[in-house]
């Protein structure tokens, strides 16, 4: 199950929604199940890595879900599908993302603690979590 977090800029009124969690298409599963599917949900490099690692190790497990990220420089938010490849409890791989504008490595953010971010439209620090507009999705 996932959550949609709505943010609104109190200066220019721009709104954007960010997803966190697991949904129908993006969820956790054994690598063998993932590789049986015809559709590739992940980035082609991630897909290739899953294929390569599953030749080396048995019983790989893939955890995938939406996470909300923030650029440490621009303070702009984005949601991405984070993929983790696990062998038992050992983490073999975790997705990393870079900011579209400054190329800094994005940081996963705790959206419940983050009250203020930078508006992607007007670039003022007035982008706020709209608590009343949170939705659940399955
Ligand atoms: Zn704005
Ligand atoms: Zn940036």
Predicted TM-score of the model (pTM): 0.84
Please give the distance, rounded to the nearest whole angstrom, from the Cα atom of residue 136 to the centre of ligand 1: 25
The C-alpha angle 11, 102, 100, rounded to 5 degrees, equals: 80
Q: Ligand 2 centre from 106 Cα, in Å?
A: 8
pLDDT digit string, tens, across residues 28-79 = 889 999 899 888 778 889 999 999 999 999 889 999 999 999 999 999 999 9
Radius of gyration of the chain (CA): 17
- Tell which residue, 94, 99, 98, 72, has the closest CA to residue 84: 94
Domain positions in the chain = 2-137
Mind listing the pLDDT tens digit for each residue in 8-24? 999 999 999 999 988 76
List the shell of residues around ion ligand 2, using CB closer than 5 Å: 71, 73-74, 99, 102, 104
CA 95 – ligand 2 centroid, Å: 17
């Amino acid at each position: 199950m996932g959550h949609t977090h709505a943010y609104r800029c109190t200066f220019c009124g721009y709104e954007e929604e960010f997803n966190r969690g697991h949904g129908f298409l993006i969820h956790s599963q054994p690598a063998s199940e993932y590789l049986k599917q015809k559709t590739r949900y992940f980035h082609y490099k991630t897909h290739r890595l899953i294929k390569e690692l599953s030749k080396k190790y048995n019983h790989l497990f893939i955890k995938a879900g939406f996470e909300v990220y923030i650029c440490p420089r621009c303070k702009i938010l984005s949601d991405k599908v984070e993929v983790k490849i696990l062998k038992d409890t050992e983490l073999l791989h975790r997705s990393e993302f870079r900011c579209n504008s400054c190329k800094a490595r994005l940081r996963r953010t705790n959206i419940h603690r983050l009250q203020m971010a930078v508006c992607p439209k007007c670039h003022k620090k007035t982008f706020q979590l709209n608590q009343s507009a949170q939705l659940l999705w399955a």
